[in-house]
Amino acid sequence: MVVKRAPSDKDARRQLAECEKIVRRIEFEKAIEFEDADNSVADSINLDDIVVEDSYDGPRIKPEGIDSEFVDGMIARFREEKKIHKKYAYQIVLAVRQYFLEQPSLVDVDIPANHTLTICGDVHGQFYDLLNIFELAGKPSATHHFLFNGDFVDRGSFSIEVILLLFAYKWLYPNGFFLTRGNHETKDMNRMYGFEGETKSKFSEMMYKLFCKTFDTLPLAHVVQKKLFVVHGGLFSRDDPGRSPSKRGVGLQFGPDVTEKFLKHNNLDMVIRSHEVKDNGYVIEHDGKCVTVFSAPNYCDQMGNKGAYINVTDAGEVSYHVFEAVPQSAL
């Protein structure tokens, strides 16, 4: 701005050039740092070398793998605002990462007869609201499936607890618990909105780098019962007719013509997306063909919004459920 206002100021132009060099250097160092970490961090972790001390009084993963007893014990420990042992945290993330590496970026979700799928939007580190969802909707089980549509971490104070619980359920029910990548499952957002700092504080930089690598493997969208397209943000990013700059200040918003054309072309009935706070937890738009669901009530402890989730039956029937926030602390 100084250079624009005083283009003949040589000192200002010199300092601008120095700033540009610093920015380029930081971006270069960041790029090579994570390129190296992504290539080696998962392979560098040897679980056999990590000793669980006798003094550790939390839940333990059995040699045969995770079970519901461990998950329930982990929830109880998180309620006490205690950590699980780093060995088990690594074990959960590595198991889920390996599973996602073998999956496509677009996942088909079929609901078997007499089963239910619950679709949730952003939870953003609000651990106690996540537990409340499981209280209200019912816990994940062999017949009750879940799909969390991105933005699991950042902003809230319990992102580690949220992501470890979601990953644990994914490991426990690999074919009945689904996770979509959101815009906050990225390094830049984690650095700015809290997950990086929280992970390094509660565990280590190595754990954070492993999460970064794992986030890179998450699927980008799901198709439920061959009729519902579930994606975190929305449809496409080209600035064509029917699209305009988003009111949020970043990205694009898309209109009913875009939704209708996409659904017709792909023989689908509805788009379900998240990404935006809604006063009542959800909003139905575009002639009933585009639904936004947001599952972090009283977002950032100040918005006063309600949360919502969507139940889908094996017959494809859709119902909406709204809930209030609960205190984000065990104290």
Same domain, 29 and 142: no
Residues 6+ positions from 298 with CB-CB distance below 8 Å: 304, 305, 324, 325
Token pair 């989730």 is found at 309
Same domain, 10 and 136: no
| pLDDT band at residue 212 under the 50/70/90 scheme | very high
Same domain, 9 and 155: no
Same domain, 38 and 114: no
In a domain, 307, yes or no: yes
| pLDDT band at residue 11 under the 50/70/90 scheme | confident
Residue 172 dihedral angles phi and psi, to the nearest 5°? -70, -40
Token pair 């050039």 is found at 17
Residue 191 dihedral angles phi and psi, to the nearest 5°? -70, -35
Same domain, 165 and 287: yes
- Residue 184 annotated in active site: yes
Average of per-residue pLDDT across 96-119: 97
Q: Which pLDDT does position 240 carry in this prediction?
A: 58
Residue 8 dihedral angles phi and psi, to the nearest 5°? -95, 0
Residue 219 has pLDDT above 80, yes or no: yes
Residue 123 has pLDDT above 50, yes or no: yes
In a domain, 65, yes or no: no
Residue 33 has pLDDT above 60, yes or no: no
In a domain, 189, yes or no: yes
Residue 37 has pLDDT above 50, yes or no: no
Same domain, 118 and 265: yes
Closest to 59 (Cα-Cα) out of 95, 79, 83: 83
In a domain, 10, yes or no: yes
Q: Which pLDDT does position 213 carry in this prediction?
A: 95
Closest to 166 (Cα-Cα) out of 156, 155, 180, 154: 180
- The whole domain housing 167 covers 101-323
Segment 175-186, tens digit of pLDDT: 999 999 999 999
Average of per-residue pLDDT across 167-172: 98
Say how many domains are in the chain: 2
Average of per-residue pLDDT across 163-174: 98
Residue 239 has pLDDT above 90, yes or no: no
Segment 154-166, tens digit of pLDDT: 999 999 999 999 9
User: Cβ atoms within 10 A of the Cβ of 229, count?
Assistant: 22
Same domain, 128 and 29: no
Same domain, 234 and 157: yes
Closest to 270 (Cα-Cα) out of 262, 279, 278: 262
Q: Show the tokens assigned to 207.
A: 């754990």
Same domain, 245 and 313: yes
The percentage of residues in the chain with a pLDDT greater than 70, rounded to a whole number, is 91
- Single out the catalytic residue among 85, 184, 222, 275: 184
Q: Which of 7-21, 213-227, 247-261 has the lowest mean pLDDT?
A: 247-261
Same domain, 304 and 161: yes
Residue 115 has pLDDT above 80, yes or no: yes
Average of per-residue pLDDT across 199-226: 97
CATH of the domain at 209: 3.60.21.10
| Rounded Cα gap, residues 3 and 33, in angstroms | 33
Residue 244 has pLDDT above 90, yes or no: no
E-strand stretches of 149-205: 177-179
Residue 190 dihedral angles phi and psi, to the nearest 5°? -65, -35
Q: Could you give the count of Cα atoms lying within 13 Å of 218 in the half-sphere of its Cβ?
A: 31
Q: Which amino acid is at 34?
A: F
The percentage of residues in the chain with a pLDDT greater than 90, rounded to a whole number, is 79
Please state the separation of Cα 128 from the chain's center in Å.
Answer: 16
Helix, strand, coil shares, percent, the chain, to 5: 40, 20, 40
Residue 218 has pLDDT above 80, yes or no: yes
Q: Which pLDDT does position 254 carry in this prediction?
A: 79
Same domain, 18 and 141: no
3-state secondary structure 195-238: HHHHHHHHCCHHHHHHHHHHHCCCCCEEEECCCEEEECCCCCCC
Same domain, 152 and 36: no
Residues 6+ positions from 195 with CB-CB distance below 8 Å: 125, 153, 154, 159, 184, 189, 208, 211
Residue 131 has pLDDT above 60, yes or no: yes
**Does 144 or 5 have the greater pLDDT score?**
144
Whole-model pTM: value is 0.85
Radius of gyration of the chain (CA): 22
Burial class (CB in 10 A: 0-12, 13-18, 19+), 119: buried
